[in-house]
Amino acid sequence: MPDVTVTEVDACGLDCPMPLLKAKRALNTLQSGDRLRVLATDTGSQRDFQVFAEQSGHLLLDADQRDGVFCYLIEKR
C-alpha cells in the first residue's frame, strides 16, 4: 500500500467561512488520494464540511469532536 500524505490545517479560532476556505485552498495543492486533516472550533463547520464533501466529490472519512475542537479527515478525489 503506498504512503498517503496527510496535510493538516489548523483553523481553530476562525469563524465561517474561513475553515472551509482554508481547507479548499489546501486541497488544491494535494494529489488525488492524499488526505487533509482540518481542525476547527466553529460549530457551523460540521454542516459546512458535510455539504462540501457531498458537492465536491471528496470523501469525508471522519468527523469527530473533542474538547470543543472539530476534526475532519478528507480524502481528495
For 12-34, the pLDDT digits (tens) are 999 999 999 999 999 999 999 99
Q: All domains of the chain, ordered by start, with CATH?
A: 6-75 (3.30.110.40)
DSSP character at residue 4: -
Any idea of the CA torsion for 15, 7, 49, 51, to the nearest 10 degrees? 140
Beta strands 35-40 and 6-11 are: parallel
pLDDT band at 50 (very low <50, low <70, confident <90, very high): very high
CA distances from 13 to 35, 44, 46, 75 (A): 22, 12, 15, 24
- Model confidence pLDDT, tens digit, residues 61-71: 999 999 999 99
Return the closest-CA partner of residue 7 out of 27, 15, 16, 50.
Answer: 27
Q: Which of 10, 12, 14, 16 is catalytic?
A: 16
Q: What is the pTM of this model?
A: 0.92
Is 16 catalytic? The answer is yes
pLDDT band at 3 (very low <50, low <70, confident <90, very high): confident
